[in-house]
Amino acid sequence: VISEAHKNGAKVFCDVTNLDHALKVQDLGADGVIAVGVGAGGHAGPISPLVLIPWLSKKLEILVIAAGGVGDGSTIAACLSLGASGVSIGTRFIASHEAEVDIAYKKAIVDSSPEDIVMTTKISGTPASVINTEFVQKSGLDLPFLLKYLKTNKLTKKYMVPIIHLAGMKALQNSAEGTTWKTVWSAGQTVGLIDEILSCSEIMDRLVKEYHQARESLPSVLTNH
């Protein structure tokens, strides 16, 4: 996939949650990695961005983009100070006028707090961060025993993993578009930093302003280096 993308002039940045995966995609020719730390929406890793970003930055020769817990200008500044070359922001832009998702999804992001974000394996078999809606509470957070067995059994996992994943992604898509009563909304802990639905241009202007404010508020001993 990476080589085919390069043939067509595209750059490839791969989501990773640990060093092993990062080194693997580096060897395969990826242009960079998106370091997905704890707190990210959707499929998130278990490692704090405070550790994951500098760890990967020291070990890799390709770009490291930070993801997870990035929702305002101060968190952008924090990620860059840890060694990231840039950031990937998801949850903040779901709560935008341009996002083609159901308005109930956007309002849920605005109304939620970091404590409302839970990890579930029931969607795709892989831990994912979602808003703890009433449907999520009723359906539970764990993959059913039979599916868990088929997913790990060496005779069936080759077939079951992609099936479970595709079914879960379809469920998320339907929920985001408001075409089902099964409200499973992917979001990260940065919901706590979002208090209104804005246009993408307003979000960008605010991020830039907050970033510069964060830099200016740092003690001079840090900004002079």
- By annotation, the residues acting in catalysis are 43
In 3D, which of 15, 67, 34, 44 has the Cα closest to residue 124?
44
User: Cα dist. 190→91, 125, 140, 147 in Å?
Assistant: 7, 23, 23, 31
Give the Cβ contact number of residue 200 at 10 Å: 13
Please state, in angstroms and rounded to a whole number, the distance separating the CA atoms of residues 170 and 85: 32
Judge residue 166's burial from the number of C-beta atoms within 10 Å of its C-beta, 0-12 exposed, 13-18 middle, 19 or more buried: exposed
Cα–Cα distance between 151 and 164 in angstroms, integer?
8
Residue type present at position 171: A
Task: For residue 32, give every residue at least 6 positions away whose Cβ sits within 8 Å of its Cβ, in sequence order, or none.
Answer: 11, 12, 13, 14, 62, 63, 64, 65, 85
CA distances for 170 relative to 90, 123, 164, 175, angstroms: 18, 10, 10, 9
Q: Strand 32-36 vs strand 13-16: parallel, antiparallel, or unpaired?
A: parallel
